[in-house]
């Protein structure tokens, strides 16, 4: 089972890398996948007569609230964070802005790694 999960994880990484260069194609494929998924859910739900409209809404809200997905699904974490930080949406950023952010994040990681090494050295000397 772990091998199967690892295989699909690597496959997902390759597909996302390839499709991220073609956002329109990525959107179409993703949209089709989502619609087919929800069509399957809808058709399965139709097999259970007790799942009327109001019961379905109540059940779905309860599931989404319990799992913490209610707000993030309908609004999205990134939109909330961007709004709080008063940032541009990722789709509005230029390639140079994204590369600048990436460079900054890499530098921050290097700095944190250096701090980690110094802390480890200090803890060994104490």
Q: Is the pLDDT of residue 45 over 70?
A: yes
Which whole number is the average pLDDT over 10-24?
A: 87
The whole-number pLDDT of residue 39 equals: 96
> Whole-model pTM above 0.75?
no
- Can you give the pLDDT at residue 79? 62
Quote the percentage of the chain above a pLDDT of 90.
37
Quick one: pLDDT at residue 40? 95
Does the pLDDT value for residue 91 go beyond 70? no
Are the C-beta atoms of residues 65 and 57 closer than 8 Å to each other? Answer: no
Transcribe 26-84 into DSSP letters. HHHHHHHHHHHHHHHHHHHHTT-TT--HHHHHHHHHHHHHHHT-HHHHHT-HHHHHHHH
pLDDT digits (tens, 9 = 90+) for 62-81: 998 888 777 766 666 666 66
């Amino acid at each position: 089972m772990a091998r199967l999960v690892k295989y699909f994880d690597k496959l997902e990484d390759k597909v996302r890398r390839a499709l991220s260069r073609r956002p329109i194609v990525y959107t179409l494929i993703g949209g089709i996948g989502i619609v087919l998924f929800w069509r399957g859910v809808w058709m399965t739900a139709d097999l259970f007569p007790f799942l009327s409209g109001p019961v379905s809404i109540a059940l779905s809200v309860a599931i989404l609230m319990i799992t913490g997905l209610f707000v993030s699904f309908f609004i999205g974490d990134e939109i909330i964070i961007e709004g709080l930080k008063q940032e541009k949406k990722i789709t509005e950023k230029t390639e140079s802005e994204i590369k600048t952010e990436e460079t900054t994040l890499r530098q921050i990681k290097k700095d944190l790694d250096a701090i980690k090494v110094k802390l480890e050295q200090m803890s060994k000397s104490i």
